[in-house]
């Protein structure tokens, strides 16, 4: 059974979400979720249901009781009693059912969280073909849940401790004779499974030879033993029993580092000094990005994707920490920062992930692991 929030926490979520719905003039909200890793968080946030297979929805009227809606074939692919939304519907075509139900209830303007990336196409077609006015509500939904309660913060910290334990499990076997990339990842995954993460992991590796890692994220290789001068960047992205995600990465190498890697690390060291001051309550996500990316831009280095993003029950939430995102950072937002920094010629990269809590002063770094290259001799 997954860990569920308190009754007070559930009431807080619904009260805040309905206030945002009222501000947007919505009669109802449809929250989408799918089994794609990290995309089930909206449904879990609003219902407590943990998607094991396929997809599901939560229908939230502005007034009245919410309901969970499942495709009929998904009746036995999740623990339907493991949640806090008690009214459940199993429909052959959930989109048609929701369109008819909402229309019959008098709804006219309906928001959808997950309209762009998550909703099943056949269900979108049914809603679009109805008389309902369908409104994208992704950013608004994420901003409602972006500021974490004290109960949520405790859950985030629990996941961070689990993620760190996975990193140290990798460290415990790194450098052993004949060990492969897959062997190392298996140590982390075994740790995460035992801690209750289940399938809520998205773990990848960047790697390369001669003290340099290439920019592509990959599935760990299982055939070739790790060489002493390989550089490995394990991206450990997990959600603990509560469903809250955190991200963490530190580089591993037992050999000499390339000149490109040394330059990237030099820029990262400067970046690490700027982050806690940039992620300050009252600053904008745009300004935080410009401050944090300055050490990389000043050296002519490339950035592979956004500097960071809000993270919660969905792996990537709004706001992003990037150019043009003028969202104000608020105390107790949780932000994953992970500049994917690439050399000028595109041949090598550096990538470290950390999870932060926004505070009135400097941001709080949730990990206790130093930002450095590890060689396998270190222990917690």
Distances 155 to 151, 160, 263, 307, 313 between C-alpha atoms, Å: 7, 9, 36, 24, 11
Residue that is last in its domain, among 92, 127, 146? 146
- 189's CB contacts (< 8 A; 6+ apart) are 166, 201, 203
C-alpha atoms less than 13 angstroms from C-alpha of 361 in its C-beta half-sphere:
2
Q: 59 and 139 share a domain?
A: yes
Residue 75 has pLDDT above 90, yes or no: no
Please report the beta strands in 131-179, taking only residues with DSSP state E, as ranges in sequence order. 133-136
Q: 116 and 184 share a domain?
A: no
The answer to whether residue 373 sits within a structural domain is: no
The answer to whether residue 372 sits within a structural domain is: no
Alpha-carbon span 18 to 14, nearest angstrom: 6
Mean pLDDT of 68-91: 88
Q: 194 and 285 share a domain?
A: yes
The token pair that represents 190 in the structure block: 């075994």
Residue 1 has pLDDT above 60, yes or no: no
Whether the bond between 319 and the residue before it is cis, its omega within 30 degrees of 0, is yes
pLDDT number for residue 74: 76
Residue 339 has pLDDT above 80, yes or no: yes
The answer to whether residue 378 sits within a structural domain is: no
Residue that is last in its domain, among 123, 146, 169? 146
Q: 130 and 187 share a domain?
A: no
Residue 65 has pLDDT above 60, yes or no: yes
Question: Rounded to two decimals, what is the model's pTM?
Answer: 0.93
Q: 257 and 120 share a domain?
A: no
Q: 15 and 159 share a domain?
A: no
Q: Indicate the average pLDDT of the chain.
A: 95
Q: 58 and 200 share a domain?
A: no
Confidence of residue 262 (pLDDT cuts 50, 70, 90): very high
Residue that is last in its domain, among 85, 116, 146? 146
pLDDT number for residue 235: 95
Residues in the chain: 380
Nearest Cα to Cα of residue 67 among 50, 51, 43, 34 = 43
Residue 305 class from Cβ within 10 Å (0-12 exposed, 13-18 middle, 19+ buried)?
exposed
Q: 118 and 64 share a domain?
A: yes
The answer to whether residue 379 sits within a structural domain is: no
The token pair that represents 113 in the structure block: 């969280």
The answer to whether residue 359 sits within a structural domain is: yes
- 4's CB contacts (< 8 A; 6+ apart) are 48, 82, 83, 84
Q: 132 and 182 share a domain?
A: no
The answer to whether residue 140 sits within a structural domain is: yes
CATH number at residue 140: 3.40.350.10
What confidence tens digit (pLDDT) does each residue in 213-229 have?
Answer: 999 999 998 889 999 99
Q: For residue 137, what are the domain limits?
A: 7-146
The answer to whether residue 292 sits within a structural domain is: yes
- Specify whether the CB–CB gap between 286 and 331 falls below 8 A: no
Mean pLDDT of 171-180: 93
Alpha-carbon span 49 to 78, nearest angstrom: 8
Mean pLDDT of 60-74: 94
The answer to whether residue 139 sits within a structural domain is: yes
Confidence of residue 368 (pLDDT cuts 50, 70, 90): confident
What confidence tens digit (pLDDT) does each residue in 143-175 have?
Answer: 999 999 999 999 999 999 999 999 999 999 998
- State how many domains the chain has: 2
CATH number at residue 352: 3.90.230.10
pLDDT number for residue 344: 94
Q: 138 and 279 share a domain?
A: no
Beta bridge partners of 162: none
Q: 260 and 344 share a domain?
A: yes
CA distance between the termini of the chain? 30
Please report the beta strands in 86-221, taking only residues with DSSP state E, as ranges in sequence order. 88-91, 109-113, 133-136, 204-208
What confidence tens digit (pLDDT) does each residue in 295-305 have?
Answer: 999 999 999 87
Q: 292 and 335 share a domain?
A: yes
Distances 271 to 55, 73, 283, 350, 378 between C-alpha atoms, Å: 39, 49, 17, 12, 24
């Amino acid at each position: 059974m997954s860990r569920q929030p308190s009754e007070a926490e559930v009431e807080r979520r619904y009260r805040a979400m309905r206030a945002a719905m009222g501000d947007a003039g919505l009669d109802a909200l449809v929250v989408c979720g799918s089994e794609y890793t990290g995309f089930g968080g909206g449904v879990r946030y609003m219902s407590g249901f943990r998607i094991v297979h396929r997809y599901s929805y939560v229908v939230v009227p502005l007034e009245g009781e919410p309901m969970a809606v499942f495709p009929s074939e998904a009746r036995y692919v999740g623990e339907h009693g493991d949640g806090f939304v008690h009214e459940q519907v199993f429909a052959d075509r959930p989109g048609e059912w929701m369109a008819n139900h909402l229309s019959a209830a008098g709804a006219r303007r309906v928001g959808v969280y997950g309209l762009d990336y998550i909703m099943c196409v056949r269900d979108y077609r049914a809603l679009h073909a109805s008389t309902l006015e369908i409104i994208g509500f992704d950013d608004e939904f994420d901003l409602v849940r972006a500021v974490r309660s004290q109960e949520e913060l405790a859950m985030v910290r629990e996941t961070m401790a689990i993620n760190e334990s996975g990193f140290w499990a990798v460290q415990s076997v790194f450098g052993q004779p004949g060990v492969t990339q897959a062997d190392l990842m298996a140590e982390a995954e075994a740790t995460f499974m035992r801690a209750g993460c289940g399938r809520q992991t998205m773990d990848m590796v960047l790697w390369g030879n001669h003290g340099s890692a290439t920019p592509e994220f990959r599935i760990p290789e299982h055939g070739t033993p790790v060489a002493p001068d390989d550089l490995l960047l394990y991206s450990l992205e997990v959600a603990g029993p509560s469903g809250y995600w955190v991200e963490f990465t530190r580089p591993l190498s037992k050999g000499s580092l390339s000149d490109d890697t040394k330059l990237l690390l030099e820029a990262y060291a400067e970046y690490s000094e700027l982050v806690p001051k940039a992620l300050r309550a009252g600053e904008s996500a745009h300004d935080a990005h410009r401050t944090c990316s300055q050490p990389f831009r000043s050296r002519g280095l490339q950035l592979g994707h956004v500097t960071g993003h809000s993270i919660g029950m969905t792996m990537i939430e709004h706001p992003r920490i990037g150019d043009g995102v003028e969202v104000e950072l608020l105390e107790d937002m949780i932000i994953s920062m992970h500049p994917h920094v690439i050399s000028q010629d595109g041949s090598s990269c550096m990538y470290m992930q950390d999870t932060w809590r926004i505070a009135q002063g400097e941001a709080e770094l949730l990990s206790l692991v130093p930002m450095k290259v590890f060689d396998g001799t270190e222990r917690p």
